[in-house]
Amino acid sequence: MAERCAENIWGHALCLSPTQSPAAPDDDGVSVRFKILRVGATVSRPASRDARRRGCTCPVPENRGGVGWDVSDDQQLKGFWIDEECVVHRTALSQR
């Protein structure tokens, strides 16, 4: 099965391998979703040290230790994998 790709509104390809899904549970049964967030000085980024101290359970390697993923030329927009059960970030999943 081939990799699935979709183009975001900025023309960048976002791809999932055949074994990934936007809300697929990992081996531990944790379900994560990819979300684009506007980040700034007051935002606790998923998987960052600050967020982890506050109870964040978002995956660290997938979020590059809180750095996130570039999704546009706007440096304040970053993509993150958010644990659906994370007490710090789960509300971001329901926001537009």
User: What pTM does this model have?
Assistant: 0.68
Other Cβ atoms less than 10 A from the Cβ of 83: the count is 23
Task: Encode pLDDT of 59-88 as tens digits.
Answer: 999 999 999 999 999 999 999 999 999 999
What pLDDT score was predicted for residue 20? 47
| Beta pairing partners, 32 | 83
Which has the closest alpha carbon to 45: 31, 33, 59, 32?
59
Task: Give, in order, the Cα–Cα distances in Å from 9 to each of 12, 35, 69, 71.
Answer: 7, 14, 15, 9
Sequence ranges of the domains in the chain = 21-94
Among 5-19, 50-64, 76-90, name the one with the lowest average pLDDT: 5-19
Q: DSSP alpha helices (H): ranges in the chain?
A: 49-53
